[in-house]
Amino acid sequence: VFVSLGTVASDNPAFFRTALAALASRPWRAVVATGRADPASLGPLPAGVVARPHVPQLAVLRQADIFLTHGGMNSVMES
């Protein structure tokens, strides 16, 4: 699973905490690109989840089966 709100809407720790809560009950591996939200502000991460401000989106998308995004133009085109 790849979670990203892109560069414009990324300053939303509450969204990321909600996504992490949903991922906590799943046996999936996930990458969360937090953008301007500090990964430390999200609290403890569930097992199998990595959170970083920025990741190589195209490389992550090649491995992801699910992309949770805000639907911005770059995210849609790249996915």
Q: What is the mean pLDDT of the chain?
A: 92
Q: What local confidence, expressed as pLDDT, does residue 8 receive? A: 72
Q: pLDDT value at position 16?
A: 93
The pLDDT score that the predictor gives to residue 33 is 95
**In the β-sheet with 2-4, what is the strand arrangement from edge to edge?**
49-52, 30-33, 2-4, 67-69
pLDDT of the residue at 6? 83
Q: Please, are residues 23 and 44 in contact by the beta-carbon 8 Å criterion?
A: no
Q: What residue type is 2 in one-letter code?
A: F
* pLDDT tier, 48 (very low <50, low <70, confident <90, very high otherwise): very high
- Tell me 9's DSSP state: S
Angle, alpha carbons 26-15-50 (nearest 5°) = 50
Rounded distance between C-alpha atoms, residue 32 and residue 35, angstroms: 9
